[in-house]
Amino acid sequence: MAHTSDALMRLTAVEAVACLKRREVTPLELIEVAERRIAEVEPAINALPTLAFERAREHARRLMRGEGRAAEGEPGWLAGLPVAIKDLVDVAGVRTTYGSVIFKDHVPTTSHPLVERIERKGGIVIAKSNTPEFGAGGSTFNEVFGRTRNPWNTALTSGGSTGGGAAALAAGEVWLAHGTDHAGSLRRPATYCSLVGMRPSAGRVTRGTANNLFAPLSVHGPMGRTVADVALFLDTMVGLCPRDPLTFAAPSRPFTAAIAEPRVPKRIAFTPDFGGKVPVERETREICARAARIFENLGATLEEAAPDLGDIETAFLALRSQHYVVDRELLLESHRSLIKPDIIWNTEIGLKQTPSQIAAAERERARLFRRVVDFFEVYDLLISPGASTPAFDVNLRMPPAIDGRKLETYLGASLITAATTMMALPSLAVPCGFDRYGRPVGLQLVGRHRAEAELLQAGWLFEEALGLSRHLPIDPKPGMVPPA
């Protein structure tokens, strides 16, 4: 079967892998398609600043010779599909900067364990996706590569910190993108770019070389154009890793198999703003409330309810700041002048905290988890907006205000996703519509502890009912920043 370059670019990841398995297309041909598309759209969005085509072609040729196929037949086999890896994660022989001028010339000699796993499963790394400095920020820009722009409107941000991966997917540069998520870094860019992004449970996916190996705040996960694509990439990523003490075995039933037999959640809770504790723009609340009612059409009972967040904002800042002390204290001592103010601020909060403040944050997190366990004895799914605002001016590090509330720090716009990070529950961002200015809006679906399969099933049913995934990929569109 003959495929045009445009047709191949528009395939979902699941469709592209099926073509690869049937030998209707080769990995080399998909690399050529991606290279052509990147050349066309990259000047407008700046999503993939580091390219690795020759390394990718070498990998493709090995696969085509029958080498490196030990994982063929395993769940998550990608069969030679090109993917993007976030520039926070090492890829052997490929420039990896972490978005920092400190590491602007860094070329690692070994790959991160997750990259090794993705490549073992037949994924071909063709590029590193742009990220804020050390992944800190809700808008993707840094002093090494500059700003990443949203393909839906290039005057707007693609979000952060997996903003490069999100923009690349939306514009058709790649079929799958790896990302990380601490306060919403997979979910918020997915929402801004009308994509699907998943924060898995801590331990589902290896963090490999992280210094915070025993902390569950930051995780790695998949982003794609559809829920099925995300399920496929999650199957690629999951499993026990000897280098990460929190990891556990992959499920006996693959996530792709789970969504093939979806079950409608019986009782669903929707919250527009967690009882007013999280600022959310009015139009976003209204769009999300209408979209959530689709589950009623599918046969679910929908009620407005949410677990009590308690003093989540204070607790999250305390624990995130401690996380930054582990990661950034030594760099502040040696390279303070080369680190952006937000990271210095966050790290210094951690350095000034007392043991009692840290203990209080841990107690608050434990109380929240106990409340959400009780909450999910009543409800099968929790739904909220995927972000507090749609995408904002690409030249800003954060929206100046949300629903009339001025933001004091860059974390203020991430509270709606940081809240579910603190719950230690898997969360899925799915597209649900557009605001009056054409900016994408999404839902955040939150599932039970380690219930990724149920969560993906719900997301797949919602996606099928709404049909927004058929809009992607798009050509980057110039536009204007909507009025505040």
Interval 350-398: pLDDT, tens: 999 999 999 999 999 999 999 999 999 999 999 999 999 999 999 999 9
Residue whose pair of structure tokens reads 């002048």 in the numeric block: 337
Q: How far apart are CA 340 and CA 342, in angstroms?
A: 6
Q: Average pLDDT for residues 242-254, to the nearest whole number? A: 98
Q: How far apart are CA 453 and CA 455, in angstroms?
A: 5
Q: How far apart are CA 471 and CA 115, in angstroms?
A: 29
Judge if pTM exceeds 0.95: yes
What pLDDT sits at residue 484?
78
Reported as a single tens digit per residue, the pLDDT across 10-35 is 999 999 999 999 999 999 999 999 99
Q: Average pLDDT for residues 42-63, to the nearest whole number? A: 98
Long-range contact pairs involving 89-93 (C-beta distance under 8 Å, separation at least 24): 89/114, 89/115, 89/178, 89/180, 89/220, 90/115, 90/209, 91/52, 91/115, 91/125, 91/128, 93/52, 93/55
273 token code pair: 């703003």
Is residue 458 very low, low, confident or very high in pLDDT (cuts 50, 70, 90)? Answer: very high
Burial 197-226 (b: 16+ CB within 10 A, else e): bbbbbbbbbbbbbbebeebbbbbbbbbbbb
Q: Domains of the chain: which residue ranges?
A: 5-471
Nearest to 384 by CA among 468, 268, 299: 268
CA distances from 162 to 134, 145, 189, 248, 326 (A): 11, 14, 6, 25, 22
Reported as a single tens digit per residue, the pLDDT across 131-164 is 999 999 999 999 999 999 999 999 999 999 999 9
What pLDDT sits at residue 408?
84
- Angle at Cα 76 formed by Cα 463 and Cα 27, nearest 5°? 100
Other beta carbons less than 10 A from residue 119's beta carbon: 22
Mean pLDDT of the chain, nearest integer: 97
Query: For the chain, what percent of residues have pLDDT higher than 70?
Result: 100
Q: What are phi and psi of 467, to 5 degrees?
A: 75, 20
Is residue 410 very low, low, confident or very high in pLDDT (cuts 50, 70, 90)? Answer: confident
Looking at residue 213, the DSSP 8-state letter turns out to be: T
pLDDT at 1 over 50: no
Reported as a single tens digit per residue, the pLDDT across 442-456 is 999 999 999 999 999
Alpha helices of 122-270 — where are they, by DSSP H? 163-170, 187-192, 227-237, 255-260
Is residue 2 very low, low, confident or very high in pLDDT (cuts 50, 70, 90)? Answer: low
CATH topology of domain 5-471: Amidase signature (AS) enzymes (3.90.1300)
- Angle at Cα 341 formed by Cα 112 and Cα 338, nearest 5°? 60
Is residue 3 very low, low, confident or very high in pLDDT (cuts 50, 70, 90)? Answer: confident
